[in-house]
Amino acid sequence: MAFKFELRKKDSSGARLGTFTTPHGKVNTPIFMPVGTKGAVKGVTPEDLEAIGVEILLSNTYHLYLRPGHELVKSLGGLHRFMNWKGPILTDSGGFQVFSLCKLRKIDETGVQFSSHLDGAKCVLTPESAIEIQEALGADIIMPLDECTPYPATREYAMNSMNLTHRWAKRSKEKKSANGQALFGIIQGGMFKDLRRESLEAIVDIGFEGYALGGLSVGEEKPLMQEVIASTAPNLPEDKPRYLMGVGTPEDLVFGVSMGIDMFDCVMPTRNARNGTLFTRRGKLVIKNAQYERDPAPVDEECGCYTCRNYSRAYLRHIYMMGEILSSRLNTVHNLHYYLSIMKEMREAIAGDRFGEWMKRFYELRSDDRADALRP
């Protein structure tokens, strides 16, 4: 089954409602993709994810290449069977991890030479091998190798990095097999809006099934990130899905949707869950704080997730303070449910021509986003 995207509606703000079809099912956009870096979303099972309403997962090429190895995964039936996930999967190229985790690396026209963060073994990742790895994994959507431009970066560095990403993108497309997988292009250019426009034109000219904004949420101030998104996202092709990589907070998701973004991923809901920070409609709740020791209320009284239906803040604080494994699971179920609920509500608001009204209410409820400002 070939990848297909349908834009179903666009409201006056630019928010979009769509659907894309993959060999492993349909996905409604805008959508958030939980991150299963090493073939598992930390703390929860695929059945948990299905119950929460997750439609698509993201896994990491770099980590699966190093361990257990893409050939082993392929021999065991591909990543879907290996991790027992029946829905669509997107794999990133591993480029960001090479640049962020590996202290010893060399970037040249060929690709990236680096030392494994696991054992120091010498490895090489090229645009061609990144495609080969992802084809072996069998993901529904795959990404080309790119250089994630650091922040801060000079204009010269950002331009050279961007041009290298363009050349690698061409090689990635030439290498890709006609196997039903969708290959998305990645737009770089650092924080320079004119370079972002140049990158957009170059990547669109190469031609991909979808387009992603990379190199954001890498340390820049929030207003600068929003400026780059606002100046780039609305100019992406309307008939292809738009993906904002590695971003972000609930507020980031809402802003991105208002700019016409269709797809998001971030480790924030799962990582925060393991660290005892829970997301609610009125902001963040830090469950370890003493004020919740005897609190009988659920995390969020308006939430219908398994955790909120069955457990009090007092109990969640207790198991977190005791270091119980169950804490990570229950917190993760809640945070992912919250993120998926936001996306569902935005889809419904766009369909009902009331996204602007919904967004205004969202920000009003979160006007005081200080941890521990919550009361039932």
- The answer to whether the pTM exceeds 0.85 is yes
For residue 23, the model assigns a pLDDT of 96
Confidence of residue 92 (pLDDT cuts 50, 70, 90): very high
For residue 118, the model assigns a pLDDT of 85
Separation of CA 64 from chain center: 17
% residues pLDDT > 90 (the chain): 89
Q: What pLDDT digit, counting tens, does each position of 24-49 carry?
A: 999 999 999 999 999 999 999 999 99
The stretch 351-367 carries a mean pLDDT of: 94
pLDDT of 75 higher than 80: yes
Write out the E strands in the chain.
4-10, 16-22, 25-29, 31-33, 57-60, 89-92, 105-107, 112-115, 122-125, 141-142, 182-187, 210-213, 242-244, 263-265, 277-280, 283-286
Domains of the chain: 4-266 (3.20.20.105), 275-365 (no CATH)
Give the Cα separation of 280 and 275 in Å (integer). Answer: 15
Angle subtended at Cα 53 by Cα 49 and Cα 55, rounded to the nearest 5 degrees:
85
Question: Mean pLDDT in the chain?
Answer: 94
Of the residues 11, 92, 146, 300, which is catalytic? 92
Confidence of residue 88 (pLDDT cuts 50, 70, 90): very high
* Amino acid code (one letter) for 37: T
> Can 11 be counted among the known catalytic residues?
no
Q: What pLDDT digit, counting tens, does each position of 106-123 carry?
A: 899 999 988 888 888 888
How is residue 190 written in tokens? 């650092």
pLDDT of 370 higher than 60: no
Give the Cα separation of 12 and 9 in Å (integer). Answer: 10
For residue 369, the model assigns a pLDDT of 45
Stronger pLDDT, 2 or 357, i.e. the higher one? 357
> Can 92 be counted among the known catalytic residues?
yes
Q: What pLDDT digit, counting tens, does each position of 164-190 carry?
A: 999 999 999 999 998 999 999 999 999
Q: What pLDDT digit, counting tens, does each position of 256-308 carry?
A: 999 999 999 999 999 999 999 999 999 999 999 999 999 999 999 999 999 99
Of the residues 11, 140, 262, 265, which is catalytic? 265
pLDDT of 371 higher than 60: no
Cβ neighbours around 273 below 10 Å, total: 28
